Structure 1
C-alpha cells in the first residue's frame, strides 16, 4: 500500500495537537495550584499579623484599663488571638516556638500588671515575628519550592 502525505498527515496533526493541549492543561493546573497555595499562604500571613497585633494591643491596653469588666474583655480578646496563633501553627515546625512562649510570658505579665515588662515584651515579640513572616512572604513572592523546581526544569528546556 502506497502511503501519501495526505494519508498520515491528519492523524499526525491530531496527535501533535492533542499532546500540546494536554501539556497546556497540565501546566495550567500546576500554575493554578501554585496560585491557590500562594493565596492561602498570604491569607495565613495576614491573619497571623492581625492576631499578633491584637495580642500586642490588648496586652498594652489591659494594663492601662481601670474598668474591671473591660479588663476581662481585653483578656478574652488577647486569649482568642493567642489561641488562633497557636492553632495556626504546624506542631512539626519550630519557627514560632519562641514567639509563642514569649506570648505566654506576656500574658503572665499582663495579669501581674507589669507595665514596664510589657513595654519590652511587646516589641520583642513583634521583632521576633518579623523573621518567620518575612520568610513566608518571600515564599509567596518567589513561589512555592516545588513550583520553583518545576519552573526551572521547564524553563531550562
Structure 2
C-alpha cells in the first residue's frame, strides 16, 4: 500500500512531466508496433505477388507452346493433303511430326491415336487422303483441347492458391 501511495503522490506532483514524457513514449511504442506489422503484411503481399507473377508468366509460355503446337498440327494437316509431293514435303511432314511428338506429354491419352492417324497418313493412298486428314484434324482438336483445359486448370489452381495465401 505504501508503494501505491508513493506512486500516486509522485503522479499528482509531476503531471506535466508525465504528460511530456509518457504520451510521446507511448505514441512511439504504438507507432513502432504498427510499423512492424505493416512491414510483415507488405512482405507477405510481395511474396504472393511474385508467386502470382511467376505463374502468369508460366501461363504465357504455355499459351505460346499451345500456339506453336497448333501451328505444327496445321502444317502436318496441310502436308497430309499433298500425297507423293516430293522429298521436301516428306521432310517438312516428318519435321512437323517430330516437333509435335516432342512437345506433347506422352501421358496425354490422345497421343497414341494421333500417332496411329499419322501412320495411316504415311501409308495413304489417294482415295483415303481426305478421310485421314479429317481424322488428323479431329485428333488434333482433342490434343489441343486437353492442353488448353490443363492450362485453365493450372490458372484456376493458382488463383485459388494465392487467394487463400492473401487471406
Q: TM-score scaled by structure 1?
A: 0.78
Q: Supply the RMSD in Å over aligned alpha carbons.
A: 2.4
The answer as to 2:140 corresponding to 1:150 is no
Larger Rg over CA atoms: 2
CA distance, structure 2, for counterparts of residue 86 and residue 79 of structure 1? 10
Q: Do 2:48 and 2:165's aligned partners in 1 also have CA atoms closer than 8 Å?
A: no
Structure 1: which 5+ runs fail to align?
66-70
| Structure 2 unmatched runs, 5+ | 1-21
Q: CA deviation at 1:142?
A: 5.8
Q: Residues 70-149 of structure 1 correspond to what in structure 2 (within 5 A)? A: 71-109=86-124, 114-141=125-152, 143-144=154-155, 146-149=157-160
4+ residue runs over 6 A deviation: none
Q: 2:30 aligns with which of 3, 6, 9?
A: 9
Distance 1:90 1:140 in 2: 13
Post-superposition shift, 1:132? 2.8
Matched pairs, number? 145
